[in-house]
Chains A and B, each alone.
Chain A
């Protein structure tokens, strides 16, 4: 009964979403507020219904209701309590409900925040959001119904994918979806601007915080995904250029470009067409990403199931792209900018170059991801390109972007004078070059690593220089140092928030450089009592044990590890789940700032006397996660309400 109730609620929600979209559009067209208010009520209803439906699904999970197919696929009687809740969004149907729920929540927030402030744009933005919601609810009711029943009822369920029994995998989809769905709002307002012809900065100013927040959650989702890949999958890496990873990375790249180019429109009234195109592209890429992971079109190690869902997603994507681009073509004339690019050596130019590079990177990722399709369609040959392709094209682009991070914030608008260039960049460049020499002297031989680190130093120097100059100005006016610094951050939080975010990116870049250049690994087979060494660590195999848990069995290898200091014990394991055709590796690791020690249990003999173990010393990986924390701080600073500026 309860599952039918849940499914029924979704059906009603679909009707409300469609009705609301039509009402809101009518309200926008005719200017009658009563219509828009009805649409708002519909949106509230949709939120309430999806929330209840979601709650019923969680209830079905918690009560082991195996008559619901989705429950039987994702839990069994041994699934621990907490994973019975978080497993709800661990597979296709649940992930769509999560997406839909977030959309409905965001719609409510849009209603609360913007209904007073954007009278003309608001009804159309609401229409777009409700229409998109209607699509996702259609998926929930037609293609991937979460409440479909099994009869007769199985005595037990299959169980949760063991790789999902991990905190990373609980939070990763949430962060990622908050990011994806977040971009719906700027897109909705952009479409509203196109429809109403109000193509000034209003739609951008309104959605600035949405864009930053969505961008942040997407960044967070990508970082958590990397963290999960690193500590669960057991290959010692955090990014593999897998199609599913690329699917999330592409909108991040164009979203970052959009974040920056809107600043140009704000200041110089330029790039209107570019900005609208970017936001349409970013939103389309979020849909594309979802399509990619659910349609089975591109083979990936972690793609979901196939079926009619792929066709539905592609059709919706096509609809969105064609309608949005059609509106863009219609409003072409109104999108002419009022400013012009004066000089190559200017902030506008730096930002434009930044955008070009980011879009180029996004294109590269897209091209590499769909290349198998392309080559099969054109030449009939099944080919794919892997990590080497993505790295060879993207690394130069990313290095260029790091350089621009240092140039952009300090270079003058319109046309930078020689004096401006000298004041701002000679110092940091010198510091960068000195840094390069220092790294070389310290033994860094990889040219790429030296370049990357030198650029990082250069950018850090520009940030430091700017902050120092501004602080000094305040000190001269009589303030003492701490209030001067915090005052700066508070009053110009957008600028300094941006700087902190850049710092976070720099730290991540250092971590990526270090881990790629200096990590080492080895694999070896040890009898009981034998040891192996790597990177200053001595690893001795002590014993093998087997144990049974509630929903799996484990073989645990005990190793004593010493690196000159107090020896300690590490226990990598292999976990056997009844629903899996093969065991899952349980990695054991020590996390340190400078390096991580990483042990993976491979093969072993049945008498427990011999084990094969993979040992890795991964350097500077922790620095990547620290960069993520700094990113968080910078984002928080950026979105804080602004103090009134003096001038």
Chain B
């Protein structure tokens, strides 16, 4: 083989490597959530502090709805600081972080809130109605709801700083009027 042709061999590996890199752009075929793209189910809860909070009252703001429990080890412990930091950074920009505590006891839940010094509103879901409406079957799960009250993304498992920022930035930049009809993120 001529001197130049032999270098084809290492070069031949590049398309294969490129194909594998392409794989990162795709999400492996997750089960699509049917809630994404639909109006978020309404809820009316009372926070641990006694304040009423409903989805209606949050219209016009981006809502990060996070379902958690004090017995959820360690994922909820990992993401609590992320949610608190996100709340601190975005609360002045029409973003609300709301935690829904499910299947828990109040004293354990309050301890959790105290330990992590969470300042965003948290409410228990005593009847379990909200978690059923949102199709929750494990914790943690986080829903990103846009200013029109539509679920735009769902994240399963511990929420990272990166994912929080990604969704909140995108939804915040949309106008309060009808948002673009682009297809929702598949999570």
Identify the A interface with B (CB < 8 A).
Answer: 66, 69, 72-73, 76, 150, 152, 154-158, 291, 295-300, 303, 310-311, 314, 317-318, 321-322, 325-326, 328-329, 332, 370, 373-374, 376-377, 382, 581
**Among the interface residues B10, B22, B30, which one has the most CB atoms of the partner chain A within 10 A?**
B10
B13 in contact with A373 (CB, 8 Å) = no
- CB contact under 8 A between A66 and B73, given known A317-B17, A321-B17, A325-B13: yes
Give which listed residue, B13, B14, B30, B74, contacts A73 with CB less than 8 A: B74
Question: B24, A373: Cβ atoms under 8 Å?
Answer: no
B1 contacts which chain A residues (CB < 8 A)?
A: 332
A297 touches B6 (CB 8 A): no
The reply to whether A322 and B7 form a contact with Cβ atoms under 8 Å apart is no
B20 at the interface (CB under 8 A from A): yes
List, sorted by A's number, 20 A–B pairs whose CB atoms are closer than 8 Å.
Answer: A69-B78, A72-B77, A154-B73, A297-B24, A297-B28, A298-B23, A298-B28, A299-B30, A300-B28, A310-B24, A311-B24, A314-B24, A322-B10, A328-B10, A370-B20, A373-B20, A373-B23, A376-B26, A377-B22, A382-B29
| Residue with the greatest number of chain A CB neighbours at <10 A, chosen from B22, B26, B73 | B73
A66 to B75, CA, bound (A): 12
Among B13, B20, B24, B26, the one with the most A-chain Cβ atoms within 10 Å of its Cβ is: B20
The interface bits of chain B over 53-80 (1 if a CB of A lies within 8 angstroms of the residue's CB, else 0) are 0000000000000000001011101100
Kindly state whether residue B116 has any CB partner on chain A within 8 Å: yes
**Closest residue of chain A to B26, judged by CB?**
A376
CA distance A325 to B16 in the complex (A): 14
Which residue of the partner chain B has the closest CB to A307?
A: B160
As a 0/1 sequence over residues 106 to 141 of chain B, the CB contacts with chain A under 8 angstroms (1 = contact) are 000000000110000000000000000000011000
Q: Is B177 an interface residue (CB 8 A)?
A: no
Q: In the complex the two chains form, what is the Cα distance from A154 to B22 in whole Å?
A: 38
Instruction: State the Cβ distance, A118 to closest chain B Cβ, in Å.
Output: 26
Which chain B residue shows the least CB distance to A318? Answer: B17
Question: What residues of chain B have their CB less than 8 Å away from a CB belonging to chain A?
Answer: 1, 6-7, 9-10, 13-14, 17, 19-24, 26, 28-30, 71, 73-75, 77-78, 115-116, 137-138
A295, B6: Cβ atoms closer than 8 Å:
no
Partner of A329, one of B6, B14, B77: B6
Inter-chain CA distance A636–B147, complex, in Å, is 69
Complex Cα distance, B159 from A229, in Å, reads: 32
Query: In the bound complex, what is the Cα–Cα distance between A155 and B115 (angstroms)?
Result: 12
**A332 contacts which chain B residues (CB < 8 A)?**
1, 6
Known: A322-B13, A329-B6, A329-B7. 19 other contacts (CB 8 A): A66-B73, A66-B74, A72-B73, A73-B73, A150-B78, A152-B116, A297-B23, A298-B23, A299-B28, A299-B30, A317-B17, A322-B14, A328-B9, A329-B10, A370-B19, A370-B20, A373-B19, A373-B26, A581-B138
List chain B residues, Cβ under 8 A from A325: 9-10, 13
Instruction: Tell me the complex Cα distance, A374–B19, Å.
Output: 7
Q: Are B13 and A321 interface neighbours, CB within 8 A?
A: yes
Residues of A contacting B71 with CB < 8 Å? 156
> With the chains together, A291 CA to B20 CA distance in Å?
10
Give the docked Cα–Cα distance between A332 and B5 (Å): 11
**A291–B19 alpha-carbon span in the complex (Å):** 14
Report whether B19 and A377 are in contact in the complex, using a CB–CB cutoff of 8 Å: yes
Establish whether residues A314 and B17, one from each chain, have CB atoms under 8 Å apart when the complex forms: yes
Q: Bound complex: CA of A131 vs CA of B23, how far in Å? A: 27
CB of B32 to closest CB in A, whole Å: 12
Given B6, B29, B74, which contacts A157 in the complex, CB threshold below 8 Å?
B74
| Residues on B with beta carbons closer than 8 Å to the beta carbon of A156 | 71, 73
Closest CB-CB distance, A241 to chain B, in whole Å? 17
Q: Is the CB of B78 within 8 A of A314?
A: no
Q: Which of B6, B74, B137 contacts A154 (CB 8 A)?
A: B74
Docked Cα-Cα span, A72 to B158, in Å, equals 13
A contact residues around B14 at 8 Å (CB): 322
Find out whether the CB atom of B19 lies under 8 angstroms from the CB atom of A69. no
- Pick the 7 closest A-B CB pairs, nearest first: A297-B23, A299-B28, A325-B10, A72-B74, A152-B115, A154-B73, A329-B6
* Residue with the greatest number of chain A CB neighbours at <10 A, chosen from B13, B30, B116: B13
The answer on a CB contact under 8 Å between A158 and B74 is yes
Q: Which residues of A contact B137 (CB under 8 A)?
A: 581
CB contact under 8 A between A152 and B77, given known A297-B20, A325-B13, A373-B20: yes
Contact of A295 among B10, B23, B29, B138 (CB under 8 A): B23
Instruction: Chain A residues near B138: list those with CB within 8 A.
Output: 581
- Complex CA gap A373/B29 in Å reads 11
Q: Is there contact, CB below 8 Å, between B29 and A299? A: yes
Q: List chain B residues, Cβ under 8 A from A66.
A: 73-74
